[in-house]
Structure 1
């Protein structure tokens, strides 16, 4: 009996994949800077953009299965509107309606934004099997991204309980205190001292069932979650993006159920995980925690010029950004 499915946690491949991702990111950054040299000054660009930070998380930590990136696909059953409504970066903020004047105001609240499409047969898997796995993935995402206990205590155990035991053992080195940046894809963690407002996060995106290159069942997900934070001095808020942080993640989940593998290897595994954060505290993001842009130094904003309209960072249908606004 095999202990693990093939290609899982190939450390040499993972290191090479991360080097390739960082190399591609540097190339994209150089190309963007070259384009900017022919545009208006950085100061002029910044004045037209939200003073928020974008953090790209491409293949940080493990690339858990292989180098095949999830293909871009139309939402099989989009749970919420993906309209990019206008964003007012300078507006009066009502802490009881923190998402007003942002595209997230059109998204569903909390778990209501994470819905599976109608189940249908995929490869050798029946509609019932596909439906059951999509429900497991739905519950896992809700726990990892919306469960207040997980978010605020920064304890990922409720998430780990839903993964294959062999995977949890592989993850343990990156779950140690101080390694949160390496395990960003496992669960969202609110920075110590940051406090969410008593409102549900807003969510948009979709999940798509497919068959991976080994013939196994996989669910590719693409979700955006907007979190609203309280602040010590509401009088200093200049607009909604001072307190609203947006996290996008494209994560593939794989179902291992072949009896030829050891019992502890069967269950849910991560495939490739990619993501970015927009309008966040740069210092906390560098440590693997989430906090609002409000805490960035006001004199610098902690950011560089963006190459996209601010509203586009709320749109799951556009390619995942690669720029990093925290420098």
Structure 2
């Protein structure tokens, strides 16, 4: 019986790819695309990534580098709300309504923005099986991105508990202090001293059930979450994006249920993962933490190539621009 399901890619390769990608990214501004999954040897379980810090004005992002991205499936349902509202960068900020004057004002609150589409049969999987898996994925996203305990303490144990036990065990080393940059896809964690306002984050996006190349049931997700932060001196705020930070993540969740694998290897695994952050603290992002752009130094890089509203839109391709340097 196999001990582990097929994993992402070799850790040594990932480390070398990260060094190479960061070097190449500084030399050019070419688009970077997601790497296809491969079947590595047993034990190379962790979903390592090549991290590319990307900022337009005051934002940062990350994306897999090298290789070719698979063609994205059309969403099974439209996002929970649209993202066409204009962004008023210098609007007065009301801490009781921090998302006003941003496109996130039109998104749903908290877990209400993570709504699975109606379940239907996918490949050999029944509508009931698909529905159960989508609900499990929904709980993973809620726990990893919205749970205040996870966000504020940095303890990702509640999120790990929803994954296959073998995967959770292999991920634990990357969740220890100092390794947060390597595990951004597992859970969001606030920087020390960063505090959220007492309002629900806003969420938009979708999930799409499919069968991947290995014949496994997979859920492809594309969600944006906007967080509103408290700041020490509200009088110094120039506009809502000083306190609102946005993360976008395209994550494929794989359901491993083949009896050829041991019991602790069955459950939820990560497939392809890509992410991007907008209007966040660059220095904290370098260490894998989330904080608002309030303390960023003035940006002196190339001008933004997109309208600000586009970074709130899950329909546009994952941004890859660089501007933190």
Whole-angstrom CA distance in 1 between matches of 2:22 and 2:296:
25
Give the drift of 1:304.
4.4
Q: Which residue of 1 aligns with 2:278?
A: 278
Give the drift of 1:17.
5.8
Could you say if the C-alpha distance between residues 290 and 262 of structure 1 is closer, same or farther in structure 2, counting changes exceeding 3 Å?
Answer: same
Question: Alignment partner for residue 55 of structure 1, among 51, 57, 60?
Answer: 60
CA contact (8 A) 2:57 2:304 kept: no
Whole-angstrom CA distance in 1 between matches of 2:56 and 2:97:
21
Q: Which runs of 5+ in 2 are unaligned?
A: 32-54
**Superposed CA RMSD:** 2.3
Could you say if the C-alpha distance between residues 302 and 296 of structure 1 is closer, same or farther in structure 2, counting changes exceeding 3 Å?
Answer: farther
Whole-angstrom CA distance in 1 between matches of 2:82 and 2:261:
40
Q: Which residue of 1 aligns with 2:311?
A: 313
Q: Which residue of 2 aligns with 1:217?
A: 217
Q: Which residue of 1 aligns with 2:122?
A: 122
Q: Which residue of 2 aligns with 1:227?
A: 227
Whole-angstrom CA distance in 1 between matches of 2:259 and 2:68:
25
Give the drift of 1:4.
1.0
Could you say if the C-alpha distance between residues 94 and 113 of structure 1 is closer, same or farther in structure 2, counting changes exceeding 3 Å?
Answer: same
Whole-angstrom CA distance in 2 between matches of 1:161 and 1:81:
30
CA contact (8 A) 1:280 1:291 kept: yes
Could you say if the C-alpha distance between residues 214 and 111 of structure 1 is closer, same or farther in structure 2, counting changes exceeding 3 Å?
Answer: same
Structure 1 segments (4+ residues) deviating >6 Å: none
Q: Which residue of 2 aligns with 1:109?
A: 109
Whole-angstrom CA distance in 1 between matches of 2:302 and 2:69:
27
Whole-angstrom CA distance in 1 between matches of 2:199 and 2:57:
22
Whole-angstrom CA distance in 2 between matches of 1:189 and 1:141:
13
Whole-angstrom CA distance in 1 between matches of 2:27 and 2:195:
37
Deviation string 1:206-246 (CA, Å, 9 cap, x unpaired) is 00001111100000000000000011111111100000001
Give the drift of 1:103.
0.4
Deviation string 1:242-272 (CA, Å, 9 cap, x unpaired) is 0000100000100000011011110000011
Could you say if the C-alpha distance between residues 20 and 263 of structure 1 is closer, same or farther in structure 2, counting changes exceeding 3 Å?
Answer: farther
Q: Which residue of 2 aligns with 1:40?
A: none
Q: Which runs of 5+ in 1 are unaligned?
A: 32-49
Greater fraction helix: 1
Moved more, 143-152 or 171-180: 171-180
TM-score computed with the length of structure 2 as normaliser: 0.86
TM-score computed with the length of structure 1 as normaliser: 0.86
Whole-angstrom CA distance in 2 between matches of 1:220 and 1:70:
12
State the SS of the aligned residue for 2:196.
Answer: coil
Deviation string 1:46-94 (CA, Å, 9 cap, x unpaired) is xxxx98422221138xx9xxx7745333321234222321111111111
Aligned residue pair count: 302
Alignment of 1:66-85 (within 5 A): 69=69, 71-85=71-85
Alignment of 1:193-272 (within 5 A): 193-272=193-272
